[in-house]
């Protein structure tokens, strides 16, 4: 009887010890429902993994107002990157640009203004006059430039977007969506990091007139480094923001908020939610050999497989140890092999649910082997 009592006490003590150890381990943070906002449509995505963390009416057509200037800037940045124009180029201001209604950087007819100054006037001061001047310089007319904008939109996968002007002035045929706008924000940061910093400038002075960036989050949240506001009566109050905290970058889009204050508070709520409850991890680097597999009838026997892009996943906080990665490879690889071709798949799961599935590709070319190598492998295949 004493032995049984002693065993019972030992078991109880062991269970208590295990429970205390489990309690001491970092526990997953419960994920609450995302914030409910009053805006017409909004989205929160992770820049690296492209995971959508919050979404409401993300494919609903919406007047973009001055968010249009994000695409105007994208086209201009590409012109600069390809060397078609330079920051020091002087642009002669037309009467049309000078007369453009709405927000202005206050250029005058006949002024010769540098491309750099016009970009700052368009991005920081949201100048409609600067936007038209830049469009005319590159494409001759605003309508022609808008056609170029639509071509870039299609190339970026912005399938629910159409532009007819470069300023965002209302037009029934001028529209976009929260999802497409998030895609554009990603592209600006990814493709033009050297110019993206313009969106972080808090103020700009031209012609003796100092104007402040309308994105109030640049002053309120040090992690925010862009990107654009917009407002018309038709569009309501819009804001695209990007913030980076501890190597994690989020992009939020709020469209159709009721006021300047609302678009700021809505955006801050989205960003805080994403950073508080989620974490982005880079699992594999592009070009890293993840697996080697046999190549038959080739000049070499083993082929390294990997990824064309870094693999990021965004998951709830404190769940990294629960990730499981698996790889599947085509059963029979025959030379020749072309670098970049898919020969398998990498699948990442969290608690049994797939969070990412990406192609496993050849990292090297493999040419056909000699006649002797091909004959030898043919025999080996027959034996197998």
pLDDT band at 28 (very low <50, low <70, confident <90, very high): low
Q: Total domain count for the chain?
A: 2
**Percent with pLDDT over 90 in the chain:** 87
β-pairing, 333-334 vs 291-296, is: parallel
In this prediction, residue 369 carries a pLDDT of 84
pLDDT at 16 over 50: no
Taking the C-alpha atoms of residue 82 and residue 353, their distance in angstroms, rounded to an integer, is: 43
Domain check: are 219 and 315 in the same one? no
pLDDT at 7 over 60: no
Domain check: are 292 and 274 in the same one? no
Domain check: are 253 and 141 in the same one? yes
Domain check: are 332 and 356 in the same one? yes
| pLDDT (average), residues 358-371 | 94
In this prediction, residue 248 carries a pLDDT of 98
Distance of CA 292 to the CA centre of its chain: 31
| pLDDT (average), residues 303-322 | 96
Distance of CA 216 to the CA centre of its chain: 22
pLDDT at 12 over 90: no
Q: Are 325 and 347 in contact (CB under 8 A)?
A: yes
In this prediction, residue 4 carries a pLDDT of 44
Domain-embedded: residue 358 = yes
| pLDDT (average), residues 179-202 | 98
Is residue 145 exposed (0-12), middle (13-18) or buried (19+ Cβ within 10 Å)? buried
| pLDDT (average), residues 307-314 | 97
In this prediction, residue 352 carries a pLDDT of 92
* pLDDT digit string, tens, across residues 44-76: 999 999 999 999 999 999 999 999 999 999 999
Domain-embedded: residue 85 = yes
Distance of CA 224 to the CA centre of its chain: 15
In this prediction, residue 15 carries a pLDDT of 40
CATH label of the domain that carries residue 157: 3.40.710.10
Provide the annotated active-site residues: 66, 69, 126
Is residue 383 exposed (0-12), middle (13-18) or buried (19+ Cβ within 10 Å)? exposed
Domain check: are 249 and 303 in the same one? no
Query: 279, 297, 322: which is the final residue of a domain?
Result: 279
Domain check: are 217 and 273 in the same one? yes
Domain-embedded: residue 329 = yes
Domain-embedded: residue 175 = yes
| pLDDT (average), residues 144-157 | 98
Q: Structural domain of residue 173, as residue ranges? A: 41-279
pTM of the model: 0.88
Domain-embedded: residue 29 = no
Tokens of 15: 């269970």
Report CA-CA distances (Å) from 251 to 44, 178, 242, 335.
Answer: 6, 11, 4, 43
Q: Name residue, tokens 């295949």.
A: 381
In this prediction, residue 379 carries a pLDDT of 85
Domain check: are 275 and 348 in the same one? no
Mutual orientation of helices 142-155 and 128-139 as an angle, nearest 10°? 90
Domain check: are 233 and 174 in the same one? yes
pLDDT at 312 over 80: yes
In this prediction, residue 79 carries a pLDDT of 98
HEC assignment per residue over the chain: CHHHHHHHHHHHHHHHHHHHHHHHCCCCCCCCCCCCCCCCEEEEEECCCCCEEEEECCCCCECCHHHHHHHHHHHHHHHHHCCCCCCCCEEECCHHHHHCCCCCCCCCCCCEEEHHHHHHHHHCCCCHHHHHHHHHHHHCCHHHHHHHHHHHHHHCCCCCCECCCCCCCCCCCCEECHHHHHHHHHHHHHHCHHHHHHHHCCEEEECCEEEECCCCHHHHCCCEEEEEEEEECCCEEEEEEEEEECCEEEEEEEEEECCHHHHHHHHHHHHHHHHHHEEEEEEECCCCCCEEEEEECECCCEEEEECCCCEEEEEECCCHHHEEEEEEECCCEECCECCCCEEEEEEEEECCEEEEEEEEEECCCECECCHHHHHHHHHHHHHC
Query: 279, 294, 328: which is the final residue of a domain?
Result: 279
Domain-embedded: residue 244 = yes
Least confident window among 20-34, 169-183, 224-238: 20-34
In this prediction, residue 27 carries a pLDDT of 54
* pLDDT digit string, tens, across residues 259-268: 999 999 999 9
List the one residue out of 256, 248, 232 whose CA is nearest residue 240.
256
List the one residue out of 302, 225, 242, 236 whose CA is nearest residue 263.
236
Report CA-CA distances (Å) from 350 to 47, 55, 114, 322.
Answer: 20, 21, 52, 6
């Amino acid at each position: 009887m004493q032995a049984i009592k002693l065993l019972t006490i030992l078991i109880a003590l062991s269970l208590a010890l295990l429970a205390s150890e489990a309690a001491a381990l970092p526990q997953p943070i419960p994920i609450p429902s995302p914030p409910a906002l009053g805006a017409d449509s909004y989205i929160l995505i992770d820049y690296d993994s492209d995971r959508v963390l919050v979404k409401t009416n993300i494919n609903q057509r919406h007047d973009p107002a001055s968010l249009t200037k994000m695409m105007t800037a994208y086209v201009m940045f590409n012109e600069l990157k390809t060397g078609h124009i330079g920051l020091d180029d002087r642009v002669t201001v037309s009467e049309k640009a000078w007369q453009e209604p709405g927000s202005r950087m206050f250029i005058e007819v006949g002024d010769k203004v540098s491309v750099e100054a016009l970009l700052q006037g368009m991005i920081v001061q949201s100048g409609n006059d600067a936007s038209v001047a830049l469009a005319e310089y590159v494409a001759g007319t605003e309508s022609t430039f808008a056609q170029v904008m639509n071509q870039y939109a299609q190339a970026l996968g912005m399938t629910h977007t159409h532009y007819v002007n470069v300023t965002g002035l209302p037009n029934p045929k001028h529209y976009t969506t929260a999802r497409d706008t998030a895609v554009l924000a990603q592209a600006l940061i990814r493709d033009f990091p050297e110019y993206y910093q313009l969106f972080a400038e808090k103020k700009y002075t031209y012609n003796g007139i100092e104007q402040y960036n309308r994105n109030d989050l640049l002053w309120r949240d040090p992690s925010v480094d862009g990107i654009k506001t917009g407002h018309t009566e038709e569009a309501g109050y819009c804001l695209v923001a990007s913030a980076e905290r501890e190597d994690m970058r989020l992009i939020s889009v709020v469209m159709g908020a009721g006021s300047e204050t609302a678009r700021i508070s809505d955006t801050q709520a989205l960003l805080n939610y994403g950073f508080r409850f989620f974490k982005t991890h880079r699992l594999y680097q592009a070009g890293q050999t993840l697996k080697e597999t046999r190549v038959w009838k080739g000049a070499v026997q083993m082929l390294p497989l990997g990824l064309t892009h870094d693999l990021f996943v965004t998951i709830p906080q404190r769940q990294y140890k629960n990730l499981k990665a698996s790889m599947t490879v085509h059963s029979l690889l025959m030379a020749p092999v072309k670098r970049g071709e898919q020969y398998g798949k990498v699948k990442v799961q969290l608690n049994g649910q797939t969070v990412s599935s990406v192609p496993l590709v050849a990292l090297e070319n493999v040419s056909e082997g000699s006649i002797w190598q091909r004959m030898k492998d043919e025999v080996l295949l027959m034996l197998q």
